[in-house]
Amino acid sequence: MEIFVLLIGLPIIVGLLIAFGTAVLAAFSYIFVGALSLAINFWYITLAVMLVLLAPLIYLNSWLFWILAALVIFFTVAWFFGGDTEQIKAEIERKRIAKEHKL
């Protein structure tokens, strides 16, 4: 009797374990790809979350001053030497028109 349980029941149990393991792996892969897709599409939100999570490390290691100094210098340079907004808008419009003509 026990031999029949081993011959019939054991393959069923092993098959179910493999099937459920594969299903869980597929579900986690689907969730991971979805999360990665959202992280790529909404990169600015992802960046904000990463910076918020890094804030304690930056503050506790006394790097805050150096990061703020670099940001101030960068934005000052960008403010004075940034591109002309009209020129940038014209470039975007030209690319949009070129894209429409390709379709």
- Could you report the per-residue pLDDT of 42-52, keeping only the tens digit for each? 888 888 888 88
Q: Report the domain count for the chain.
A: 2
Identify the residue with better confidence: 17 or 62.
17
Give the position of tokens 């940034």. 82
Domain that holds residue 16: 1-59
Shared domain check, 74 and 42: no
Length of the chain as a residue count: 103
* Token output for 51: 């910076």
Same domain, 94 and 50: no
Same domain, 29 and 65: no
CA gyration radius for the chain?
Answer: 28
Give 46's contacts (C-beta < 8 A, 6+ positions apart): 39
Tokens read off for 73? 């210098």
Q: Are residues 47 and 88 in the same domain?
A: no
pTM above 0.75, yes or no: no
CA distances from 82 to 64, 86, 90 (A): 25, 12, 16
Same domain for 8 and 53? yes
Q: 54 and 18 in one domain?
A: yes
